[in-house]
Structure 1
């Protein structure tokens, strides 16, 4: 989804952030747009999304717990 250049509430939303964060978010967006098609960037981003940013993250097999409750 693209939002209007002013970033404020288009038909389906937009950016709603504290004014003090606007420069940082604009810098982040500028750099993301600059590097989003770079293969090395995508590989690194996917790594961090997998390892640090919620599902899907690797799950730990809790062998002892699984045995105690009769399987996972």
Structure 2
């Protein structure tokens, strides 16, 4: 009878370790993807900055009173 609680406690500890490892791996993967995305975004901004400037025209007007 004493083996069952020990087995359950061992399984619980193993699950905690597995959950901790999964968390660390997930956060590490997300951080790596974040760095790749930042690098690609920076490269896209630099490529866009090298293009010919675009002229923007802003038109403002007042409404006529009715």
TM-score, normalised with respect to structure 1? 0.27
Task: Name the larger-Rg structure.
Answer: 2
- Which has more helix, going by share of residues? 2
